[in-house]
Structure 1
Amino acid sequence: MNSNWKNFLLANNAHFSSDTHISFPNTDSDKRLYPIAHLAVLTVSGTEAGQFLQGQITCNVHDVSATQSSLGAMCNPKGRAITTFLLAKSGDDFLLVLPNELLEIVKKRLSMYVLRSKVTLTDSSDSLCLLGLTATSNEAFLATHSEDDGVRINMGNRCLIIADVNNAITLWSEYSAQGFQATDSMQWQTLDILSGIPWLTTATSEEFIPQMLNLDKLGGISLTKGCYTGQEIVARTHYLGKAKRGLFIAECQTANPEPNASIIDADGQVLGNVLLAQDDKLLIVLQLADTDTAQLQLKDYNQAPLTLLTVEPS
């Protein structure tokens, strides 16, 4: 995290429990402002950036513009997702918003394919900041924004802004003046879970094909764009029938289980895994045949019971 951005947040009553967990005094406002530190930005630039990315990711880069973003994944040759991301565009540059713990892994993997392409991969963690906004109406986001301020990713009653440090500080101050109140950064992760956004971690990277993460339902897979790394497996899964596992939203009254923790039934049979957990809400990947009747429990967490909040893949 950029030191100027961190010092600004500290001066505005932020408390850093860790590099990724930033908390503030409690708020009761329905207009909230989040400093997002568990995600980071990998910038892909150069005259061949779009062509290069098109051969490496599941979504279609031609669908992405200054006003249109896309979820997607980067896979290994076996079709397993190394990372998921939000893809946005700033000028001619492509911005991949992805878990910060996977950024260096992804950058290193992509660099293997650059070869002589006119492409530059840049870790923008120190130069670009991520701000989240929530409100009852997205009209509240519009009053303090121009294209020069940064890149906006609209998410219904939420908005994610990618901005350089100076613009991030300005936007934070302006939104605060409009009644937006600073909120615990991890609450943004809870909202992502409830929205079914399948962020990966080092523990879950290369464990699941994109359909198991519901990326097909979230518009993160193009079946017409042509070849990319892992495309054969992703396409085969689509054309031969749905994946055997899917993503569900669940609830559990226990400490947040670690990513990839096992989910079992009453007989101890493993039925799936935790993708992500925060504030008693979980994203879990389950065998689809077992979601109707199984008594789901968390293994190694005193067999804490799970309650599905979605009855089919979200």
Structure 2
Amino acid sequence: MNNWNEYLSAQGARLAQDGSANLSDFGHSLGVAELAPGFVAPITDQGLIAVTGDDAASFLHNQLTNDVEHLGLAEARLAGYCSPKGRLQATFLMWRTSESVFLQLARDIQPALQKRLSMFVLRAKAKLSDAGAGQVLLGIGGAAAQAALAPLFGALPPTPYSRIDHPLGTLIRVADAFGSARYQWLATPEAAQAAWPALAAGLRAAGTDAWRLADIHAGVPQVTLKTQEQFVPQMVNFELLGGVNFKKGCYPGQEIVARSQYLGKLKRRTALAAIDAPAISGDDVFAVDDPDQPCGMIVNSAPNGSGGVDALVEMKLAAIEQGEVRLGSASGVPLRLLPMPYALDALDL
């Protein structure tokens, strides 16, 4: 891993300034217009848990918001892990092999979350381990992504949340962004380094910030340390993305999640916004017509190449509809709402 990071640093990658050791970009942050033609990005802010054993799928099926027992080998799915009060403690990208189920999550919550899940294994034949050692993650997206990957992999995963195993590693197609397919490639550092020159020749070299920006424009949230236990899944549109199965049976918080779905109209959603100022996960936002209390919170944000950020922002539906929302206080920098890639109930965003 260190050799991989050193290699990327020699290619111009820059470390984030927040002390996280993430590779943020290759000289400057990139916006949508620069990423849409095609980009390749080392993703350095993700952790990976492997759950292995005869009962791995059934154990996780009883813990997560999505169906694990019927997860196919050619699939990937989103899933959440909730507190007993129905609040998300983690969000995952999940897939399985014949031996293990893999849970990809924000790296800053992995150690504590892995320890917590392990406490509930009890007599189940399942063991949790850190699966990230010795592997790196690349994100490839934009209009030229498929042409760049085809010489390496041949046939690519055909639809969002499909996957293939290949001698070069695991390739997962995730949610589309910027009007094009996106893929994440889990590889050995040696395979990634061998492929980097060809990928960077046909695609724009970008960093973790760019991949986060793509996730944001795909409308896909991720719970991080600053937003744990802040949101019921529907508040971050998780069921709209297929991350909640309402027929699978019990899991922690299931009753509250189901009640939120079926009893009464949802009152909070997550929208996409541009903000002409720095903003990070957990920052409050305020509606101008209700200045005394926050109307919502930033879920995820990423530099947008213009000095500000684009963000997924959870807030009251009334604030989304009214549109006058500001960062930090009712007199703060305004949020400019952008079109979402999917419908939010009856809202046209």
State if a TM-score over 0.5 links the two structures: yes
1:126 equivalent in alignment to 2:136: no
Match of 1:150 in 2: 169
1:102 equivalent in alignment to 2:109: yes
Cα distance in 1 for partners of 2:44, 2:261 equals 34
How far is 1:126 from its partner? 2.4
How far is 1:139 from its partner? 3.0
Cα distance in 1 for partners of 2:96, 2:128 equals 14
* Contact 2:144-2:203 within 8 A present in 1 as well: no
How far is 1:116 from its partner? 2.0
Write the deviation string for residues 34-63 of structure 1: whole angstroms up to 9, x where unpaired: 000111211111221111110111111144
* Contact 1:88-1:153 within 8 A present in 2 as well: no
Cα distance in 2 for partners of 1:285, 1:176 equals 35
Match of 1:89 in 2: 96
Write the deviation string for residues 74-128 of structure 1: whole angstroms up to 9, x where unpaired: 1111111001111122342111111111111210110110112221211223222
TM-score where L is the length of structure 1: 0.91
Match of 1:170 in 2: 194
Cα distance in 2 for partners of 1:8, 1:120 equals 34
Number of positions where the alignment pairs a residue of Structure 1 with one of Structure 2: 311
Query: What is the correspondence of 1:160-309 to structure 2 with a 5 Å cutoff?
Result: 160-176=184-200, 179-255=202-278, 257-266=279-288, 267-269=290-292, 270-279=294-303, 280-299=309-328, 303-309=332-338
* Contact 2:63-2:252 within 8 A present in 1 as well: yes
Cα distance in 1 for partners of 2:323, 2:203 equals 43
How far is 1:274 from its partner? 1.1
Cα distance in 1 for partners of 2:218, 2:251 equals 27
- Which structure 1 residue ranges, 4+ long, deviate > 6 Å from structure 2? 26-29
Match of 2:5 in 1: 6
How far is 1:300 from its partner? 5.2
* Contact 1:296-1:306 within 8 A present in 2 as well: yes
Of residues 100-109 and 89-98 in structure 1, the stretch that sits farther from structure 2 once superposed is 89-98
Cα distance in 2 for partners of 1:5, 1:242 equals 49
Paired residue secondary structure (2:103): strand
Cα distance in 2 for partners of 1:212, 1:184 equals 28
Cα distance in 1 for partners of 2:267, 2:112 equals 28
Match of 1:68 in 2: 75
How far is 1:242 from its partner? 3.9
What amino acid is the match of 1:23? D
How far is 1:16 from its partner? 2.1
Gaps of 5+ in 2: 154-164, 304-308
Cα distance in 2 for partners of 1:147, 1:227 equals 35
Cα distance in 2 for partners of 1:289, 1:245 equals 8
TM-score where L is the length of structure 2: 0.82
Cα distance in 1 for partners of 2:265, 2:184 equals 31
Cα distance in 2 for partners of 1:153, 1:73 equals 19
> Which of 25, 43, 47 is residue 23 of structure 1 equivalent to?
25
How far is 1:137 from its partner? 5.0
Gaps of 5+ in 1: none
Write the deviation string for residues 235-282 of structure 1: whole angstroms up to 9, x where unpaired: 111121343211111111112x13221111224132111111112201
Write the deviation string for residues 168-216 of structure 1: whole angstroms up to 9, x where unpaired: 3334345346x23421321111111111111112111011111111111
Paired residue secondary structure (1:281): strand
Cα distance in 2 for partners of 1:183, 1:149 equals 21
Cα distance in 2 for partners of 1:166, 1:42 equals 21
Structure 1 pair 223/263, CA: closer, same or farther in 2 (3 Å)? same
Of residues 18-27 and 181-190 in structure 1, the stretch that sits farther from structure 2 once superposed is 18-27
Cα distance in 2 for partners of 1:227, 1:148 equals 37
Paired residue secondary structure (1:61): coil
Cα distance in 2 for partners of 1:126, 1:231 equals 33
What amino acid is the match of 1:289? A
What amino acid is the match of 2:252? T
Paired residue secondary structure (2:230): coil
